[in-house]
Structure 1
Amino acid sequence: MNLSRERPTAPPSATRPCSVSIDPTSASSPVPEHIAIIMDGNRRWAKQHGLPVALGHANGARQVRKIVQACANRGVRYLTLFAFSTENWRRPQDEVSSLMGLMTLYLQREVKDMSAKGVCLKIVGDTSGFSERIQSLIIEAQEKTAHNSTITLTIAANYGGRWDLLEAIKSWQSAHPGESVNGLNEATLSTHLGLAYAPDPDLLIRTGGESRISNFMLWQLAYTELFFTDTLWPSFNAAELDRSLAWYSTRERRFGGSSKT
């Protein structure tokens, strides 16, 4: 994994996204096929603006539609958003309740717009942990957008990278009863992961200033370029997305090999 840490005081270098411009429509500018985003900073954004935490999450949810459209406009085919981790249940109950309410509203209100814009929605995670109402809305939303092909939006909800790996192994064992795990290899295990339908992310963006991946897509991020920005998620817009794409365009992806230069 290669990473960028965006800091205002850092010396000029190839890892400073501000120093590079990008034209998203230019054929010479490489566009990631798959972008994953850890949407961090809703609570701090609310605090900075003197608002309740619930409104921070609500403003973060509003950014999702904008970033999905921005990614689609730039030719990104897959976008995966880390919305709710398996560890987030430990947060205060009122905050968890507001997050569940937001998820319900999102699934109810956004499906029509997604269908109109060609967005295929997928939810990855342990959905059995959600209420029956949310589970029903998830199934309905996925069915209604299943044939869309402009961009595949995956919402990782009640998801953890370790959970994903354990579930993949269980799935393989269920499909191969009585077989030794010696018959399991990387290619086969990958087909049992929650995002088996998508290529591994080319670029991971984490907003909010933290420099860690927080148990997100542990298997899939092996060769992903990592971009960390101090911008809080509710303030992350198309211009911020282009900053990350500008940095990505300077990267030489080696996948464990040697440099071409």
Structure 2
Amino acid sequence: MTEKMEEERTSRIIGRFLGGLSSTIRRFLFRIMSSGPIPQHIAFIMDGNRRFAKKWKLEEGAGHKAGFLALMSVLKYCYEIGVKYVTVYAFSLDNFNRRPDEVQYVMDLMHEKIEGFLKELDMVNRYGIRVLFIGDLNRLNDPVRVAAEKAMEATAMNSKTYLLVCVAYTSSHEIPRAIYEACEERNRRNVGEVEEEEEEAEEVIKVGDLEKKMYMGVVPDPDILVRSSGETRLSNFLLWQTSNSLLYSPTALWPEMGLRHVVWTVLKYQKNYPYLEKKKKQA
């Protein structure tokens, strides 16, 4: 039996066990797990919504709706277990190249779900969630951008946990933008410099300068990156930030993701924690 098959078998066993747990017992389990290291930041590539709809012969768009419900559950479990930051890849800049009607449908759905999210502020405030939309928000249509701004404003006072939603985002856009802004800032600082040696020293752009200008510079790098549906591609997502992150790709399509996958994600992180910490120290 391959390691991948063994992982899936173990995950299914965990799923059958967890499926019958009450919320009280679930929290007790999480408390036991928290005796070990808990990832501070988990990033998700939510892959498989359309395949889920095709698999179950659902109408177009039903997979994305099911995926939103899965996201709400995954967020709840992550925050209950002690994860502070959750990042999700909601819409790539490259996705704007899809059929216009498909792009419009996803924009409409995104607007609907953000508005729905705003109606659940009791739950949001219970977990102390601050929502941040990450990416080139000017590419979004007006209703989605306005809704995103309202969500960020409504949760701006929260700081217990964070949800980062990457929309109109790719790393190949984020990195050159950060380089440009770091250079622009350095040029502004150099205005008025008269000593040539000082001016030359100020020309150097350091890694820290770039990271401050990254969209994702507001939070720590992910400890683990999870991509559903068994795919192992990063798809232009957090390429800069995941150089020392653990990668995990369960075969479940995104709408099928649930408690057992969150538990298994944390267990994988705990198993690999000594190695990950060693690599971070060497970086």
Q: State if a TM-score over 0.5 links the two structures.
A: yes
- Give the counterpart of 1:28 among 12, 35, 39: 35
- Give the counterpart of 1:158 among 156, 165, 168: 168
Greater helix content = 2
Distance 1:255 1:112 in 2: 42
Q: After superposition, what is the alpha-carbon deviation per residue over 1:208-251, rounded to whole angstroms, capped at 9, x for unaligned? A: 11111110011100100000111000000111111111111100
Amino acid at match of 2:104: S
Q: After superposition, what is the alpha-carbon deviation per residue over 1:122-144, rounded to whole angstroms, capped at 9, x for unaligned? A: 00011111112221111111011
Normalised TM-score (structure 2): 0.81
Amino acid at match of 1:134: V
Q: Aligned-residue CA RMSD in angstroms?
A: 2.3
| Aligned partner of residue 25 in structure 1, secondary structure | helix
Q: After superposition, what is the alpha-carbon deviation per residue over 1:116-174, rounded to whole angstroms, capped at 9, x for unaligned? A: 33210000011111112221111111011011123100000010011111111122122
Shift in alpha-carbon separation, 1:141–1:256, aligned structure 2, 3 A: closer
Amino acid at match of 2:166: A
Task: Tell me what 1:68 maps to.
Answer: 75
Amino acid at match of 2:240: W
Distance 1:239 1:12 in 2: 16
| Aligned partner of residue 30 in structure 2, secondary structure | coil
Is 2:2 the partner of 1:10?
A: yes
Normalised TM-score (structure 1): 0.88
Contact kept, 8 Å, 1:53 with 1:95, in 2: the verdict is no
Task: Tell me what 1:234 maps to.
Answer: 255
**Rg (Cα) greater in structure:** 2
Q: How does 1:1-261 map to 2 (within 5 A)?
A: 9-11=1-3, 16=7, 19=10, 23-26=29-32, 27-114=34-121, 115-117=124-126, 118-177=128-187, 182-251=203-272, 252=274, 253=276, 254-255=278-279
Contact kept, 8 Å, 1:17 with 1:246, in 2: the verdict is no
Deviation at 1:256, TM superposition (A): 5.5
Deviation at 1:187, TM superposition (A): 1.5
Shift in alpha-carbon separation, 1:73–1:144, aligned structure 2, 3 A: same
Structure 1 window deviating more from structure 2 (201-210 vs 162-171): it is 162-171
| Aligned partner of residue 87 in structure 1, secondary structure | helix
Contact kept, 8 Å, 1:12 with 1:19, in 2: the verdict is no
Deviation at 1:51, TM superposition (A): 0.9
Contact kept, 8 Å, 2:186 with 2:203, in 1: the verdict is no
Aligned length: 249
Runs of 4+ in 1 over 4 A off after TM superposition: 17-23, 178-182
Deviation at 1:12, TM superposition (A): 7.8
Task: Tell me what 2:196 maps to.
Answer: none
Mind listing any 5+ residue stretches in structure 1 that lack a counterpart?
A: 1-8
Contact kept, 8 Å, 2:134 with 2:167, in 1: the verdict is yes
Q: After superposition, what is the alpha-carbon deviation per residue over 1:71-114, rounded to whole angstroms, capped at 9, x for unaligned? A: 11011000000010011112222221111011101221102424
Distance 1:102 1:194 in 2: 24
Distance 1:12 1:176 in 2: 48
Query: More relative contact order in 1 or in 2 (CA 8 Å, sep 6+)?
Result: 1
> Sequence identity, in percent?
28
Task: Tell me what 1:3 maps to.
Answer: none
Distance 2:164 2:87 in 1: 5
